[in-house]
Structure 1
Amino acid sequence: MEEEEEEEEEMQYPECPVCLQVYNNETTIPRVLSCGHSACQTCLPQLPQRFPNIIRCPSCNQLVHYPNNHGGSSSLPKNIDLLSFISQQQQHQQNPQNPNPQYPNSSEKSVKQLSQGHEFLPKFWSEEFYTIWKDWVLEIDSIEIEMIGVGDGDDHDPHISLLRGRKDGEIVSLLYVGSAVLNDSVFDFSYVVRIMQFLYQLNGSLRDELCLILRSLKLRFRVCKVYGLWMNSENGSVFLVCEMLNSDLKEKLSEWRNRIVCENGNEVIRDGKQRKELNWGMPGFAVVGMELCEALASLHADGLVSGCLALSCFHFDGFGRVFVNSNEVLVLGRRIRKWVREFAASGCQRSEETERIMDDIIKIQPTVNLELLFSLLHKEGVALDFGSSECSVGYFSDVWSLGCILVSFLDGGGLNHEYFYQLIPQIGEKTCDEFLGLYTDWVERVNLLLENLLGPDYVALHQILCRCLEYDPGNRPLVTDVWKCIRDLLVRPQDDILGSLDTGGSLKNMIHCISLGHMCDMPTENDREFQNQNDHNLEGSGVAIGFQQDGDGKNEKNLVEGLRIGKFECVDLMGHADCISGLAVGGGFLFSSSFDKTVNVWSLQDCSHVQSFKGHEHRVMGVVFVDAAEPLCVSGDSGGGIFVWGVGASLQQDPLKSWYEQKDWRYSGIHALAVSGTEHIYTGSGDKSVKAWSLQDYTLVCTMNGHKSVVSSLVVCDGVLYSGSWDGTIRLWSINDHSPLTVLGDDTPGNLTSVLSLSVYHHTLAAAYENGCVKLWRNDMLSRSIETQSGAIFALDIKEEWLFMGGWNKTVDVKELSGNELHVDSRSVGSVACNSVVTAVLYWEGKLFIGLADTSVKVYSYRS
């Protein structure tokens, strides 16, 4: 009794699929549509009407007639049985309740069933991952590489140098990120998918850092624009593309010093006259110095710290404004990492090798602060006794580098770099106090240099530059303090209306040092082995391979991933003597029709040839399978012949039935076949008609006219028959009464292009045209046109969100479809190259069947 009461309480009354309200005889009256489903009288008029007097059933998604001009929903019959059932159930309960209906359980069930369905392509990444990265992928033809070796030194090593290219005529720099290396395989992934797969397989920390750099620096003030990622499709190298301005600071420094410095031989005159000419050049220094501070502050605004800088890291635009180039910063960081690695490997002791390393790094003239140097040496396992493990690289580390650059600007680029770097080999020889003494001696040398250059007129500038070079980061000034001091050279403090503003803003607590990050510690050797290892790891985890569960709960690996990594079987089915015209699957067999007037039957288990159906006297144009109590195979030929073959435990040698449609000498027979359950066979003919034949007695049921040329393709889905024609249109017919529903496409003479193939999956329709265009409709609204520009598309197939199409270009292209109810997005996933023109394409339960003009059928499947 308790169980019965619980069942009564849990009962959900029939409700409208649109408003989810329980039906009644007053406000939510159920009206019956021609497909047999019901919806309430109030909701039906509010459903979208794409075409006159036609709506889609909200339950089965079929196109059905709606009497819009004859009373609307009120003219449709009431569902009396449904109302009676609800009334009886309510009377049966002793305490009737007014239920608050929920979403029907059937929808949950359908979702569960879909989740167990077989998908063709692996989900290498989530949709969220693709959404994050897709806008950073540059078009394949957007970059043109000009020359190698934009950066100084190490130009022979592509990992620590820059390429120079052009983007829409603008000069850009390209920084190597890694290689999207794929094993040689039959399946060729598209450009975007290869980059996405490369990003997905990157080390998580490296990928996060790359994302941080892209997001932070794209539109940051005083930072060269970062455009995104581009891949060289020839070798798979992926690059970070960054704006590259006219000239760098090193060139400007040389020009500036040539104007204001008098030289006598190799020595700079340092007297009153020299100071006077330096005073004349001070405004130029002040302007550039302020913009250097602004560029560095802009970098810090997003929590980014360079760690080391060089004159080459700063560029000038056409207006003379200074910008920091993130690609140059990364290149410099990679060179410093390489140098420190070699230095640590030498034992940090003076030797010919360390001297060579020192000479190489002095040529670049980087400003490497001690915090970064100690941190890098510590990462290389060098044990130091003066705080190497406790030093942290932060904003004040960049202030040290800024101070060195400003002093170099004043001194013409000298700054005793050689003397400073002579201190570094002594890190492994001196104690902390001894090394600190040597460093203090170097700072004193810089102090004397500034005193001689600036004299008593620029005491404040002298002091703040010396503070920038303090050993203790806590004693260094903020970048904004340096900016304000330099600004005082141009504007007197009492006249500076901006002097009270906080131009620095707030600094973020989270700091990321570029020179210590993964982007500067990329694998520079054996990239292919690195990529293959990632592939292996992903395969073991089941992520990239895309394990799917079929209806029986068994794990089945994905075909396309098998094609990519070489784990696939390709069987060539040879048996026809002419072009393949159609493919069908059913009853454990593959059926292939051909212009050689035969239909071959192949086993789906071992791809062996089982039998040939012979009897046609003309080219067989198509073949379909009928899944009935007694399975059937139906084929049609260009002479109008229709043959029905038995497909049972033993295949029949002779057709069960054959007949010919009415012949007309002006037209050529049957061009397309389709089947609707076990009720009708549909033929598309050269006489411009679509005919329906009964599967019960094989008689002609009706003829559907409307096309103006050959009906070239037929397909049935959700109670609608779609017919494509050489007249460029697609007509929709109701399966229930074979009445016309609507027409898709433009049949005007100037826009005519023949429809060659159709495929439908639920509410998405794809049509292939003779001019190489593929059009996609979603809910009968044209949503997207794909221009292939590679010749006619003869065959296509849609399975869930995947579109396969092949034709004149001898390739089967795979595209992924996404979007909403009205809009379809498509993106190329990859392609399978064939040796001949593709004339038929079919995907079925993990196998891809490709019919070719060279008489063969290729079958691709995953090999475990």
Structure 2
Amino acid sequence: MELPECPVCLQNYDGASTIPRVLGCGHSACEVCLAKLPHRYPETIRCPACTQLVKYPQNGAAALPKNIDLLSLALSLSPPQNPNPNSDDPRKPRQQSADDLEVFNFLPRLWSDEFYSAWKDWVVGYDAVLVETEERARLCDSGAAVGLVQVGFLERLGDSKFEFSYNVRVMKCLSGMREEERRELGLLLRGSGRQCRRIGKVYGFWGNVEDGVLYLVCESQSGRFEEKLRGLRNGDGFGRDGLGGFGVIGMEVCEAVMGLHSEGFVGGGFGVSCFGFDDFGHVFVDLNEVLVMGRKVWTSVGGRKGIGAEEMGVMFGSLLKDEAFVSMEVLFEVLKKEGIAVECESSKYMVGYDSDVWSLACVLLSLLLGKEFSEEIGNMNHICDHSTYASWIERVGDLLDSRLGSEYASLRVTLCKCLNYDPASRPLVIDVMICIRELIIKPQYDIMAGLERPVKENSTSCCLILGSSVRCPRKCQKHRKNMGCREKKSENGFVDGLAEGKVKSKVLQGHRDSITALAVGGEFLFSSSFDKTIHVWSLQDFCHVHTFKGHEHTIKALIYVDEEKPLCISGDSGGGIFVWSTSSPLGQEPLKILYEQKDWRFSGIHALAFRDGYIYTGSGDRTVKAWSMQDGTISCTMSGHKSVVSTLTVCDSVLYSGSWDGTIRLWSLSDHSPLAVLGEDTSGTVASVLSLAADRHVLIATHENGCLKVWKNDVFMKSIKMHNGAVFATGLDGKWLFTGGLDKTVNVQEWSGDEFQTDFRPIGSIPCDSVITTLLCWQGKLFVGYANWNIMVFYYGK
């Protein structure tokens, strides 16, 4: 036999340093550990063995009685033998296997917690974006201009009654992407999120529920860069007198491209529009424009089967005229990815940082030369012919000579090298920037001229234009629509069933007034109503089985008691408590009727709960009463609330009572003594508590102002505005939270978290045609009671 030990420190009791002290729940722990445990409320403590909230003396653990039996046992036993190291530790509690518990999930898991944590912060709220055009919008809070780049499509829900929440639709779209697409998008988000203002910010993903498109929201200054430069140069570019201005702008553009490379990105192509000015006058790469330009490239090559040298030249020249400065090797790679055969020997070069050098040079030449460079681009129609291409570079060099003169011959040579056919022969971006600096600083005074150059590296893994996310998804959607294809969905999941219209709903009719409460027990569903009756429904086919009649007042509360003899207990506005037998055959008369004493404050029974032979009632006289089932007498009256006690729930040997006074009180079920008060608002603002739900260490309360408040391990976690109007009903079933009320909507949330935080993920909602007065989730089925006298059952399958 093992020596008895403290459940906290696992030290054996010895009567000296490890003294067992008995708590009100009957469990023991050593005096030292009890003193160190957190005390959330005055004179209370949670038992480390059963987590029950129990009384704790003001004088500390020493005032608790010693567990004499444990001390005697510890002294009588000899020290235990060293156990076999290969055997299981008998002190460890046995873990329940999957066979021990039958779990009924209302919804299947849509994604892992790791996936949700990685992407949730990148979902831009639906109300955060104001759309101006198809690709342009503004952020509502700051008014900043943003660009919208299509990356996917929100899932369509068909004819289902269930509506996915906005966040779920965005997350489902992300989870349905290929891993390669998500990796590229993740790199963009993380790269732009760093303190590198040389790259335009990417805010995240925004879904337009009207057109069903998922967009990447990027900082955008479309046209501002060119507009500001228009005042510094004319249509012919920068003249001799403006070379200093060109030098400043050119160095900034080079630094922006180097900033992009420092984050591991290859642009793949640039245009003048792909750059912008930040608030400090520095140039940055506008990722939105780069991605939009990439779409133009993919669109220009689509629908072809093969392409010859002449057609290749025409296509390349057309892109350059539109200021889509894409190097030859990038264009060849696009054609290759599209499965288009290229009749050109020069398609062997790899895409890398050198590809951006070619595009950068075109941007700089366009700024410097203006119309002259645009006209020369029109002669670019034989890119597969090396000699023809070399002559084109010579003509560009002649234009530079006339603009720069012999004084800046090194800049002319460097820019021409940037246009080399072979990427390996192109200079580094930093070399280009140093040459441009000569327009402002003489080489002998330039400290950058002597700096060590970085090692040239190439990478094709992060090329923006070649990324999967850049390819136009609209074309794919049209193709899917024409082919009549549909995404495959699991036929086992509630959510997928909802999306396909496979989740059934059934209306239970029979009551003649608003539904007030629901309860499940045995083979039956019990429902109460303002019509003073209780209807009994079969859980097999949801048909009406029986009606309990006898109440003279409207029924406000209903519970099922699973004792040796199963019971249904109801409470009415007249103070009557009726106990009904649910054993077959169902009878017409109640087994017992109890009446609460009336006084001038009386307004009947508002809430019911049951535990260990006691019926607990929440009343209009502001008290909670404990009724003995044995003799029907009131064993205890618990006072403290300042208004109607509207809701009761029991969890871990603690009774929770919510009131119209806006507070929740905790009572010990062992002696009915008060333990704590939650929700007291010192500001004087009172929001009535309308419903409670408790599960182990979590307590959730809903209020008349539409808010939901959460406590975990006796610590207030958060308050959430969940509905527009009073929330009359709540249900907590494992990880699923259901709420409904005055706004005629049932909201479905998935909650998770740890001792430091609680997270509620909006999964979806069920729009209803009447006020929700009560709801209940049982074994994957959702029962909803309405003010229009009906009860709805939502379930998957037959």
TM-score (norm 2): 0.93
Q: How does 1:505-654 map to 2 (within 5 A)?
A: 511-525=461-475, 527=477, 536-537=487-488, 539=490, 557-654=492-589
Q: 2:34 aligns with which of 44, 66, 69?
A: 44
2:595 alignment counterpart: 660
Q: 2:329 aligns with which of 371, 374, 393?
A: 371
On the 8 A contact 1:583/1:592 being kept in 2, the answer is yes
Q: How does 1:115-264 map to 2 (within 5 A)?
A: 117-148=103-134, 162-167=135-140, 168-184=142-158, 185-219=160-194, 220-245=196-221, 247-252=223-228, 254-258=230-234
1:200-238 CA distance string (max 9 Å, x none): 111111111100111112342322222222222333322
User: Following TM superposition, by how much is the alpha carbon of 1:536 offset from its aligned partner in structure 2, in angstroms?
Assistant: 4.2
Mean alpha-carbon deviation: is it higher for 835-844 or for 412-421?
Answer: 412-421
User: Following TM superposition, by how much is the alpha carbon of 1:77 offset from its aligned partner in structure 2, in angstroms?
Assistant: 2.8
2:61 maps to 1:79: no
On the 8 A contact 2:151/2:473 being kept in 1, the answer is no
Q: 2:685 aligns with which of 705, 726, 751?
A: 751
On the 8 A contact 1:811/1:838 being kept in 2, the answer is yes
Report SS of the residue matched to 1:443. helix
On the 8 A contact 2:731/2:737 being kept in 1, the answer is yes
2:652 maps to 1:708: no
Residues 505 and 26 of structure 1, relative CA distance in 2, 3 Å threshold: farther
Residues 384 and 608 of structure 1, relative CA distance in 2, 3 Å threshold: same
User: Following TM superposition, by how much is the alpha carbon of 1:803 offset from its aligned partner in structure 2, in angstroms?
Assistant: 2.0
1:324 alignment counterpart: 285
Residues 357 and 470 of structure 1, relative CA distance in 2, 3 Å threshold: closer
1:17 alignment counterpart: 7
2-side partners of 1:584 and 1:841: how far apart? 9
1-side partners of 2:771 and 2:156: how far apart? 26
2-side partners of 1:103 and 1:488: how far apart? 77
2-side partners of 1:615 and 1:806: how far apart? 29
Letter in 2 for 1:495: Y
On the 8 A contact 1:247/1:316 being kept in 2, the answer is no
Residues 682 and 571 of structure 1, relative CA distance in 2, 3 Å threshold: same
Q: How does 1:798-813 map to 2 (within 5 A)?
A: 798-813=732-747
2-side partners of 1:660 and 1:533: how far apart? 66
1-side partners of 2:458 and 2:26: how far apart? 64
On the 8 A contact 1:598/1:613 being kept in 2, the answer is yes
On the 8 A contact 1:723/1:731 being kept in 2, the answer is yes
On the 8 A contact 1:776/1:783 being kept in 2, the answer is yes
On the 8 A contact 1:253/1:412 being kept in 2, the answer is no
Residues 763 and 380 of structure 1, relative CA distance in 2, 3 Å threshold: closer
1:689 alignment counterpart: 623
1:19-50 CA distance string (max 9 Å, x none): 12233333222222111211112101111111
Q: How does 1:81-96 map to 2 (within 5 A)?
A: 81-87=69-75, 90=78, 95=81
Residues 855 and 357 of structure 1, relative CA distance in 2, 3 Å threshold: farther
Q: 1:488 aligns with which of 431, 438, 454?
A: 438
On the 8 A contact 2:308/2:344 being kept in 1, the answer is no
Residues 510 and 383 of structure 1, relative CA distance in 2, 3 Å threshold: closer
Mean alpha-carbon deviation: is it higher for 315-324 or for 392-401?
Answer: 315-324
1:552 alignment counterpart: none
- In the alignment, structure 2 segments of 5+ residues that lack a partner are none
1:378-426 CA distance string (max 9 Å, x none): 22333346456632100111111111222222221443455454226xx
1:267 alignment counterpart: none
Calculate the aligned-residue CA RMSD, in Å: 3.0
Mean alpha-carbon deviation: is it higher for 327-336 or for 704-713?
Answer: 704-713
Report SS of the residue matched to 2:185. helix
1-side partners of 2:258 and 2:686: how far apart? 61
User: Following TM superposition, by how much is the alpha carbon of 1:502 offset from its aligned partner in structure 2, in angstroms?
Assistant: 4.8
1:652-673 CA distance string (max 9 Å, x none): 2221112212223541211111
On the 8 A contact 1:673/1:713 being kept in 2, the answer is yes
Residues 528 and 861 of structure 1, relative CA distance in 2, 3 Å threshold: farther
User: Following TM superposition, by how much is the alpha carbon of 1:489 offset from its aligned partner in structure 2, in angstroms?
Assistant: 1.8
1-side partners of 2:279 and 2:503: how far apart? 56
Aligned residues: 793
On the 8 A contact 1:730/1:743 being kept in 2, the answer is yes
1-side partners of 2:90 and 2:156: how far apart? 46
2-side partners of 1:627 and 1:741: how far apart? 27
On the 8 A contact 1:173/1:244 being kept in 2, the answer is yes
2-side partners of 1:821 and 1:380: how far apart? 51
Q: 1:336 aligns with which of 286, 297, 302?
A: 297
1:29 alignment counterpart: 19
1:743-796 CA distance string (max 9 Å, x none): 222276932232111111111111111222221111222221112461111111
Residues 445 and 573 of structure 1, relative CA distance in 2, 3 Å threshold: same
2-side partners of 1:296 and 1:850: how far apart? 59
Residues 729 and 519 of structure 1, relative CA distance in 2, 3 Å threshold: same
Letter in 1 for 2:569: V
Q: 1:476 aligns with which of 422, 426, 449?
A: 426
Letter in 1 for 2:542: C
Q: 1:770 aligns with which of 681, 704, 711?
A: 704
2:370 alignment counterpart: 412
Q: How does 1:491-506 map to 2 (within 5 A)?
A: 491-502=441-452
1-side partners of 2:732 and 2:490: how far apart? 27
Letter in 2 for 1:470: N
1:803-856 CA distance string (max 9 Å, x none): 211110001112232332254333322211111001001111101111111111
1-side partners of 2:649 and 2:26: how far apart? 22
2:282 maps to 1:307: no
- In the alignment, structure 1 segments of 5+ residues that lack a partner are 1-10, 149-161, 262-276, 428-434, 541-556
TM-score (norm 1): 0.86
Letter in 1 for 2:67: N
On the 8 A contact 2:647/2:658 being kept in 1, the answer is yes
On the 8 A contact 1:810/1:834 being kept in 2, the answer is yes
Letter in 2 for 1:128: E
2-side partners of 1:528 and 1:379: how far apart? 20
2:339 maps to 1:381: yes
On the 8 A contact 2:668/2:675 being kept in 1, the answer is yes
Report SS of the residue matched to 2:180. helix
Mean alpha-carbon deviation: is it higher for 757-766 or for 490-499?
Answer: 490-499
Residues 502 and 609 of structure 1, relative CA distance in 2, 3 Å threshold: farther
Q: How does 1:825-836 map to 2 (within 5 A)?
A: 825-836=759-770
Residues 752 and 411 of structure 1, relative CA distance in 2, 3 Å threshold: closer
2:240 alignment counterpart: 279
Residues 376 and 659 of structure 1, relative CA distance in 2, 3 Å threshold: same
